[in-house]
Structure 1
Amino acid sequence: MTRRFSGTQLVIATHNRGKLDEFAQLLAPLGITCTSAGNLGLPEPEETESTFLGNARIKAHAAARATSLPALSDDSGLTVDALDGAPGVYTADWATTPTGRDFVHAMKKTHAALAGHPQPWTAQFRCTLVLAWPNGHDEWVEGTAPGRLVWPRRGQDGHGYDPMFQPDGQTRTFAELSAAEKNAISHRGQAVARMLAKCFT
């Protein structure tokens, strides 16, 4: 049986301020106060799994155990069919450089890896959300945005691989859509809507 969230305090298992703000805004109308693992000084657990679900579970359960509060985490990334699903759970790693995280570098690396592969370069953005309780129970949902990769990259908005990703049914990339247009079809937008329907409303 699905377990529903019944409290007023929730930990977002992230050290990303933007992600905390995004979830806090979504949950505020339900009377839920959010804080983050980063704000609480919790260490970032090592993500050792090979799936989005596995890594999201690591983060959610670590935060729930440390705080004795329910915790929500997400793990997301880009899977490219011609690259056998890469970068997948290693999406952020592909952006790592000696000077920090650089997604222009990641997009160039992805484009280089696609050399010789015929277009269209079909791909999917994927997001898995896990809601975990201190007793070890969890609920999870997924969201997927199918599309294709384009080159040269287009658009100034968005983040990550957005300038290279054109979702199905659109002539613009994620980086050329408004935030509202993107959220209506994005992998994270879908996952959040499913989690809200499953466990919060």
Structure 2
Amino acid sequence: MKKRFFVTGTDTDAGKTYVTVGLLKAAKRAGLKSFGLKPIAAGAEQIKGDWRNDDALLIQQASSVLLPYEQVNPVVLEAAIAPHIAAMKEGRLITASRLEGFIKGALLVPHDFVLVEGAGGWRVPLNDRELLSDVAKSLGFPVILVVNMKLGCLNHAILTAEAIARDGLTLVGWVANNSAETMPCYDENIATLSAMLTAPLLASIPWCDNESDSQKVFDEMLSAL
């Protein structure tokens, strides 16, 4: 049975790519045909004349099914700013249907496990009418929420979970991702989110975990999905 998930975060730099890459590596260790997609990415540099996004490259490298970069990240924007503004500055129009088409094209490749990583948070604009969440709604995949564990995350996480439910999607689980400095009252904040979010806590990820500990966390997370 194919497993497909949409990975979102409470905000930008919440740790979506870290979680996506970790799960893809776990899927590879499990012998699954797996790949990740980053349909839109803002922030790129030229490598041998082509624009490339660092997160998309990490996702491509972690996948067991090796797709061309253009399929992993079909829309790459140079400036590391809100995607719709970056697209406007480049004279481009990004639509939800176009992104959905790119994703569904990639899904024709044989697979067991696929992660589609969003950009920023849940309600990121694509243009003056559409949001990236419109793409997630069209796909209908269960959602993994990465929570950036810092002051303000309770509000961000609860509002994001409410928006996901309002869009008719299933929040399959959430991940507590820690920054360099542990959040004050960390355990109490985890307990609050565990009580207020309907989905289970899939993992609490420390900042500087070693490779073997990291693998164990993501192997267990993969098994829980």
TM-score normalised per structure 1: 0.34
TM-score normalised per structure 2: 0.32
